[in-house]
Chain A
Amino acid sequence: MTAAHSPHPFDAARFAEFLRLHHLPARAEVRSLDDYWAALTWEEREDTGLEPETLAARYAEFLALDGQPDGERALLSLDVLRGRDKSGAPERYDLRFVPGDVVCLVGPTGAGKSRLLADIECLAQGDTPTGRQVLINGVPPGDAERFSGESGLVAQISQNMNFVIDLPVGEFLHMHAESRALTDPAPVVDQVLRAAVAMAGEPFDADTQVTQLSGGQSRALMIADAAFLSPKPVVLIDEIENAGVDRRAALDLFVRKGKIVLLSTHDPLLALSGSRRLVIRHGAVQDVITPGPEEQTMIAHLVEIDARLADLRARLRNGERISSFPA
């Protein structure tokens, strides 16, 4: 192992960061890996469990990763070509999704919604139980794209997800931004916070601990975070019902950000809001429904009912007595 073979000039700051992440003893003033190894005592070398070769290999990997966080994937279209249902009968539809699509998935538990998502997640190539094939921008992805790093395309938000980290909202968002290697995270963090507060029924700020957020607030934060900070081009929203979040505002946010939204829901307002509904049964897409004029009219009516319910919720929160259903 010699520094001469290294493709990178030796950067002391990067090397110090590498040592920190790998729990290796720090050494100031070293100019190469050889220097570093020479500067370690016998006990320290023994403790690292490494040899000069393995240390060099690790450091090379660390440098190769530099500046390559999980990037945003430019997704122009996502095709899911028909497979088979649980009995092996062929599916009737090929599906195409483009940025800004809001597509609902309806069907009973166990119908195959998860399998459809899993097919998208692992970019199935006729090799999953359903036999479906996924195309990215019209072409099959290469193996490298399928089986390297954390290659999934789908961000998920569901009713049973929680924040488990105990940090203030602002710090938490900065931590997420750091993992995206954003050069200037502050404006994005601010954007997420404002969008989340606008969606939530009750306001909160950057100093609120994420673990102290109410159900509605944390759902709103998850949605805003997925819209602005997640690199995933596809967002699955699973059974998010009345959690005190302005659900239509949430959908608009994703549409504006050019995400493909898959909504797994039986909430009438949400289910009718999509541009299409996929009816899933027996492990396959059995039907694709495009809302007609009757359903469009129905939406207006549901929005009205929803607004009245929201008004009732607000009044209850304020401690009022409710004597009549608001007109």
Chain B
Amino acid sequence: MRLVTVAGPPSSGKTSLIVRTLLALRDDGLRVGVVKFDCLSTQDAAVFERHDLPALVGISSGFCPDHYFISNIEDCAAWGERLGLDLLVTESAGLCNRCAPHIRGFLAVCVLDALSGVNTPRKVGPMLKTADLVVITKGDIVSQAEREVFAFRVRQVNPRARILFVNGITGQGAWEAARIWRSAPEDGVLQGGRLRFSVPTAVCSYCLGETRIGSDHQHGTVRKIPIPS
């Protein structure tokens, strides 16, 4: 089974891209499915169901969404194997720009929205910098000049990646995305595999449910903002 990790800011068009691309792959006779990771709630399960795409949904709720992803990815992959899928996609919101769900040896996709402005590629963190494929959505409503600047700035922070413009409404570009996903690496090792980018090591009292503010209540790993006196 092939595993593809898709990440990107909220409302950048990840679900539309995934649906369009998976339908193109299914037309080619592949068995495909998706795992949706989110923090609070998601309506996307209904979208996947509407297209008869097998979908698993995980809500991290009170847990750090990035840690949640890493702790569950192996079981989700096993679920895909049990269904006999040829390709499984994981979708996760880029939640704090600090982390990325991309794993070494698996195809990593980052979705960015051209409407978010040409400075976005410089603000987004490892989910863009460690991606193999960068998909730019909503390019049909911004000027050609801004599309070119946007792509250039993506290349500045990630020279390796293939850049693709996809229109999530009409599906233009999804065929090309499907072509790249189809040749994603297969049967990489998850157990003992490595993330492309480490998640922060932080265990403080607030991680364990503390809500009171004040230095008396701060224990564990705490970082202070440098403020000139």
**A residues adjacent to B (C-beta < 8 A):** 21-23, 43, 46-47, 49-50, 58, 61-62, 64-65, 69-70, 114, 118, 122, 127-129, 147-150, 152, 155-158, 160-165, 172-173, 175-176, 179, 218, 222, 225-226, 229-232
Contact = CB atoms under 8 A, between A and B. Distances in A.
B162 A147 contact: yes
A230 B162 contact: no
B145 A225 contact: yes
Interface string B140-181: 111111101101111111111011010000101101100110
A62 to B, nearest CB: 6
B150 to A, nearest CB: 9
B7 to A, nearest CB: 14
B201 interface: yes
Interface string B209-220: 000000000000
Contacts of B176: 122
Given A222-B145, A225-B143, A150 B117 contact: no
Contact of A61 (B117, B145, B160): B160
A125 B114 CA distance: 28
B115 A164 contact: yes
11 contacts: A22-B129, A64-B159, A162-B142, A162-B143, A163-B143, A164-B142, A164-B146, A175-B118, A179-B148, A222-B145, A229-B145
Contacts of B165: 150, 152
A278 B145 CA distance: 27
Nearest to B167: A114
Contact of B149 (A23, A43, A64, A179): A179
B151 A150 contact: yes
A158 B140 contact: yes
Given A64-B159, A147-B180, 12 more contacts: A46-B198, A49-B197, A49-B199, A61-B159, A65-B155, A65-B156, A70-B155, A150-B163, A164-B117, A164-B142, A229-B145, A231-B148
B67 to A, nearest CB: 14
Nearest to A218: B143
B200 interface: yes
Interface centre among B117, B158, B159, B223 (most CB of A within 10 A): B159
Contact of B162 (A129, A149, A157, A229): A149
Contacts of B160: 61
Given A62-B159, A127-B179, A165 B146 contact: yes
Nearest to B183: A147
B94 to A, nearest CB: 14
Closest 9 CB pairs of A and B: A179-B152, A65-B159, A150-B163, A150-B151, A61-B159, A49-B197, A176-B145, A155-B144, A49-B198
Nearest to B129: A22
B122 interface: yes
A23 B157 CA distance: 10
A225 B144 contact: yes
A21 B125 CA distance: 10
